[in-house]
Structure 1
Amino acid sequence: FLSLSSSFYQNIDTFIRPPYFFISGFIDIPHMEYYYVFLCFVYIISLVGNIFVMMVIYMDSSLHSPKCIAVFNLAFADVCGSTALVPKVLDMFLFSRQLISYNQCLASLFFIFLFLTIQSFNLTILSYDRLVAICCPLRYHMMVTHRSMFQLTGAAWGFAVFLVLLAVSLITRLSFCRSLVINSYFCDHGPLFRLAAPCSDVVPNIVISYLNPSIMLYFPMVFIISSYICITHALFTITLPQERVRALKTCTSHLILVAIFYLPINFTYLLHSIIPTNARIINLSLTLVLPPMLNPFVYVLKTEEFKESAKKLLMSIPVG
């Protein structure tokens, strides 16, 4: 690998777009073969669980509600996000294929961050649904319609594509005249553009590396927290305790999804400077693969309408 990349070091003034990068990933982490088995297990469960949720929503007409559009979209993003990440990780590190072409690297970066952003935006849309349902129950069916939900999810997709394409397009202007080793387990944005720091102006990339997480993660999180402050205030205005508990139960599945998604990823990014590199890589990989696996269980087990629909679907499957 070093002999292949040495030809790129000779002339710093030449714009260099390398044919490949080397993903260092989990090198020097002992007993990683067990972690690969774990990732494979998580990926299979994620596929089966999220496809099952999408089937339940599609086949049960009682679930053809505006809220379930966002749930279906979240399950779809979970399937696509896991598929964009896990199979390539397993292929690279199980079969020692850690060289990835320039175009494949950018495509991987695009799709992984696109579906990560969609997951965040969908949780925001679901918090809007709960906000209107509890704070404005009489206007819920006027404000949350099939049309408005399709518009929100469509806007989320369009905005996510724009943000991630902007980050990827800024990578294409960089010259890589030094190391081609990406210190991550996939073509991560930060480790990738930092490779070009000695040879190119990476200030726009640094700006987008702070701007995009704010838009993708922190602004949605602030909206979700604000919505639940309003929901909490509205719950205290409900006089009957049983009605208050019933309203709160409609939020539990969403709150669990929010905690599963936002807490680990914020913990990893906020404390990345004090977490050892290997631990940071493992933590980051877990934050990307565990939420898609857990989301279907949360919705099927914690939401009565999904639980009943899932039971009907399973009972309708012929045995033997």
Structure 2
Amino acid sequence: MDAKFSNDTFSWILQIAKFDVSADVVYPVFLTGVLVYLFSVLCNGIILTLIVTQRSLHKPMFYIMFSLPLADILGITALLPRLLIDIVTQSNVVYYPTCVLQGIILHTYGTSVLFILAAMAFDRYIAICKPLRYQSIMTPFTVGGIIALVWGLDLALIMILFGLQARLPKCKTFIVNVFCDNVSLVRLSCANDITVNNIYGLFITGFIQAVSVGVQLFSYVQILKTCISHSQSDAKIKAVNTCSAQIIIFVLFEIFSNIWILSYRFQNISPNAQKLCGIMTFTVPPVANPIIYGMKTKDIRNAFIMVLKKLKVTLR
């Protein structure tokens, strides 16, 4: 099964672990997966469209928020369609370049979510704690810089991660997960020393968590102090509702991602359960995020209702 990955004989074809599904439920699982995917793309697409088309959402907060449904669509698209096809066809073959591409997109998605939530928390901190200076601080230049920093830092960290992986000589052809990620690709290596990869992997994990948790913790503590020390106006209540949506999304993502990571630390967990934990990390948040924002963010709800009313009038 194993083949040498050398300059002379490079095997582009890899085998990837299967997600064991009984033959009786293959098509129900496939149909459920398709519906989940379409629902996620539709809901996130609606939020993207609303932010672009509705003047009431042309605000710094929503310009930053735009990146979240965009990341959700990228993440679930990188994972679910190919996985569903593999389940139906019972294929466990993946080409090395597409495997690397999937890994880059999935890691980029995971990192971007944490950075985006940190950026949104900072915006809410300025809006609630420094309302009189909000317009002067959150200028188009500042908002553009924040968005560029989020995606630029995200891509830089992930490209270095995969660059370190790519330099390793390969001598295996089996991906141990049902999707491609950095760990699975590193395990293809026959190198005796992968210390640099391990150190950098731990570094970016700690760095991403420290930045995201640190910014959000600071922002929400300051927001809480402001709300306790001052009477809440309607604007502050609306802002706090937005904060609660961001906190729920952050906690949800952290729960699923950490369960997935911890599942590999316990040997009594079945391989299918481990794979399911990984799948849920990249499918549950993209499905839940637009629902949470739809319920908790009044501006988005109002914009959506307004569009439905206009559509109803047009169809009459």
Establish whether residue 283 from structure 1 lines up as the match of residue 282 from structure 2: no
Q: Secondary structure at the match of 2:69?
A: helix
For 1:265-317, what per-residue CA distance to the aligned partner results, in whole angstroms no more than 9, with x for missing partners? Answer: 12332453124432121012101111111111112221111111001112222
For 1:5-46, what per-residue CA distance to the aligned partner results, in whole angstroms no more than 9, with x for missing partners? Answer: 4x539xxx9997432221104147887634443332221111
Establish whether residue 227 from structure 1 lines up as the match of residue 219 from structure 2: yes
What is the one-letter code of the residue matched to 1:37? L
Does the 8 Å contact 1:261/1:291 carry over to 2? Answer: yes
Point out the more displaced range, 238-247 or 256-265. Answer: 238-247
Quote the residue 1:89 is aligned against: 83
Does the 8 Å contact 2:104/2:181 carry over to 1? Answer: no
Cα 1:181–1:245 change in 2 (3 A) is: same
Cα 1:319–1:71 change in 2 (3 A) is: same
For 1:216-254, what per-residue CA distance to the aligned partner results, in whole angstroms no more than 9, with x for missing partners? Answer: 344312321232122222222114698875553242222
Aligned equivalents of 1:15, 1:202: Cα separation in 2:
23
Measure how far apart 1:200 and its partner are.
Answer: 4.3
Q: Matched residues, percent identical?
A: 24
Does the 8 Å contact 1:174/1:200 carry over to 2? Answer: no
Aligned equivalents of 1:35, 1:286: Cα separation in 2:
14
Establish whether residue 260 from structure 1 lines up as the match of residue 266 from structure 2: no
What is the one-letter code of the residue matched to 2:188? L
Aligned equivalents of 2:69, 2:233: Cα separation in 1:
33
Quote the residue 1:162 is aligned against: 156
Q: In the alignment, which of 174, 199, 211 is matched to residue 181 of structure 1? A: 174
What is the one-letter code of the residue matched to 1:262? E
RMSD over aligned CA atoms reads: 2.6
Does the 8 Å contact 2:13/2:94 carry over to 1? Answer: yes
User: Which residues in structure 2 correspond to 1:1-320 (within 5 Å)?
Assistant: 2=1, 5=2, 7-8=3-4, 17-27=10-20, 33=26, 34-177=28-171, 179-196=172-189, 198-239=190-231, 245=237, 247-270=239-262, 272-274=264-266, 275-317=269-311, 318-319=314-315
Aligned equivalents of 1:29, 1:189: Cα separation in 2:
29
For 1:82-112, what per-residue CA distance to the aligned partner results, in whole angstroms no more than 9, with x for missing partners? Answer: 1122112122232233211111111111112
Q: Secondary structure at the match of 1:21?
A: strand
Aligned equivalents of 2:8, 2:191: Cα separation in 1:
9
Cα 1:37–1:216 change in 2 (3 A) is: farther
What is the one-letter code of the residue matched to 1:219? V
Unaligned runs of 5+ residues in structure 1 are: none
Aligned equivalents of 2:127, 2:56: Cα separation in 1:
18
Count, aligned residues: 311
Aligned equivalents of 1:39, 1:158: Cα separation in 2:
32
Does the 8 Å contact 1:24/1:185 carry over to 2? Answer: yes
Aligned equivalents of 2:51, 2:157: Cα separation in 1:
29
Point out the more displaced range, 274-283 or 62-71. Answer: 274-283
Aligned equivalents of 1:114, 1:240: Cα separation in 2:
38
Does the 8 Å contact 1:118/1:156 carry over to 2? Answer: yes
Q: Secondary structure at the match of 1:201?
A: coil
Cα 1:53–1:241 change in 2 (3 A) is: closer
Measure how far apart 1:65 and its partner are.
Answer: 0.6
Aligned equivalents of 1:152, 1:244: Cα separation in 2:
23
TM-score (norm 2): 0.89
Measure how far apart 1:54 and its partner are.
Answer: 1.0
Does the 8 Å contact 1:221/1:262 carry over to 2? Answer: no
Point out the more displaced range, 232-241 or 149-158. Answer: 232-241
Point out the more displaced range, 198-207 or 62-71. Answer: 198-207
For 1:46-87, what per-residue CA distance to the aligned partner results, in whole angstroms no more than 9, with x for missing partners? Answer: 110011011111111111111111111111111122112211
What is the one-letter code of the residue matched to 2:286? P
Aligned equivalents of 1:136, 1:166: Cα separation in 2:
37
Unaligned runs of 5+ residues in structure 2 are: none
TM-score (norm 1): 0.88
Does the 8 Å contact 1:29/1:278 carry over to 2? Answer: no
